[in-house]
Structure 1
Amino acid sequence: MRKTNDIRVVRTQKALLEALDQLIKTKKLSCVSITELCSAADINRNTFYYHYNNINDLITENKQILEAELNEVLDVNNTRSRTTINEICKVLKRHPLFLSILVSPNCDVDLFEEIFGIASEKARIQIDRHKDITSASDLYSTYYCNAGCNAVLSAWIRSGMKESPDEVAEIISLSSRKGPISVLFPED
């Protein structure tokens, strides 16, 4: 279906993602049939097949759209990590249905780590530009920050993305700079 402004295509894609998000709450992604998905989305199977060959094509296309947006943000905002985290959160906020599907325990496709691998890799490159990471301590600290960032984003998605991108970016930025213990227990 490719990213488009055609309202019919946008509605169809949204209906498919909403239906898939509901279906994946009760069954594995691999067990969802196209007939079942189209019925839940209230679209004709021919419409589905006009755009996709199978459900994995729907997932892959949404993944590519999200990755392209993340890469764009990460290429443009490469100077201040707080700004970059905020922009990443804004991109994620535009894709709540797809991300809800990805973080579902019933999603057999492990794309969440793949998508956030982009952000983690870009963060590592940024750190490399500012500091040579040669010690195990520096390398593991980088991994720790990236894993923590991914955990916060995953929890945010699972909870329905109620907080603003700015609030989540501030939590990630503050925890990364000061450490989670200092944030949780500022007096100690």
Structure 2
Amino acid sequence: MKIEKIDRRVKYTNLLLKESIIELLKTKHISKVSVKMLCNTADINRSTFYAHYADQYDLLEKLEQEVMTNLKEYINHVKNEPSQVLNQVLEYAAKDAELFKVLLSENCGSAFQRDFMSLSQQKIISKVKDDHSIDVRTSEYLQCFILSGALEIFKKWLHDGMVESPEQMAELISKLLFQGTSFFYKKRNKETK
């Protein structure tokens, strides 16, 4: 019984600290967030903070790792079909949009964004990598272009309040990734004729 109580307290403390760092990172860079600010926001003692984390960077790193682990588990059961993976990623992010907005912002540095791009490359961009008609160097440039564009669309969607559904965004991004912008221009030209 005592262990369960401690576990609940630890979980609650971790939850408070994660919520606090997310709140602070909405307006401050991680280098400007202090342990004192985190403790004041979470309404906990510094000794409690240090029982769990070394500093604000350690807290952020553990939060990022937790989100990535959960995201990988969430999309793990999906076939490597890009539109399905995209849809799952977008659905997952939509459930906690504020967290993703913060983690993908400049206030957090680039570690989460780099890990997110790496996961996307593994799960979504495999078609470009597997296309042997494209030389390796060109394939690397294409992957960079595709990932950067998809990430910026994803961030804009989050910041605009997710007006479109995850399914609509997955379809849009998939069309852009594999058919390019010409798909939309051809479609518009057909409609105007």
Fold-level similarity (TM above 0.5): yes
Aligned position for 2:99: 98
SS in 2 for 1:186: helix
Cα drift, residue 173 of structure 1: 1.6
TM-score, scaled relative to structure 2: 0.74
Q: Structure 1 stretches of 5 or more lacking a match?
A: 1-5
CA distance in 2, matches of 1:20, 1:143: 30
Aligned position for 2:3: none
Cα drift, residue 30 of structure 1: 0.9
CA distance in 2, matches of 1:18, 1:115: 21
Work out whether 1:24 is the aligned partner of 2:21: no
Work out whether 1:132 is the aligned partner of 2:132: yes
- In terms of Rg, which structure is larger? 2
Aligned residues: CA RMSD:
3.0
Q: For residues 148-167 of structure 1, what are the structure 2 equivalents within 5 Å?
A: 148-161=149-162, 163-167=164-168
Aligned position for 2:145: 144
Aligned position for 2:36: 35
Distance 1:83 1:90, change over 3 A: same
Q: For residues 46-85 of structure 1, what are the structure 2 equivalents within 5 Å?
A: 46-85=47-86
Distance 1:111 1:33, change over 3 A: same
CA distance in 2, matches of 1:159, 1:83: 22
CA distance in 1, matches of 2:36, 2:148: 38
Cα drift, residue 40 of structure 1: 1.4
Check whether the contact 1:21–1:100 (CA below 8 A) recurs between aligned residues: no
Distance 1:159 1:137, change over 3 A: same
Cα drift, residue 111 of structure 1: 2.5
CA distance in 1, matches of 2:152, 2:50: 36
CA distance in 1, matches of 2:94, 2:14: 17
Q: How many residues align?
A: 182
* Structure with the higher helix share, 1 or 2: 2
CA distance in 2, matches of 1:30, 1:109: 13
CA distance in 1, matches of 2:10, 2:83: 35
Deviations 1:47-104 (A, max 9, x none): 3223222112221112212222333355432342111111112232344343222233
Check whether the contact 2:16–2:42 (CA below 8 A) recurs between aligned residues: yes
With a CA cutoff of 8 Å and minimum separation of 6, indicate the structure with the bigger relative contact order: 1
Q: Structure 2 stretches of 5 or more lacking a match?
A: 1-6
Letter in 1 for 2:181: P
TM-score, scaled relative to structure 1: 0.76
Letter in 2 for 1:17: K
Deviations 1:130-166 (A, max 9, x none): x325425554333332222111112223334454322
Q: Percent identity?
A: 27
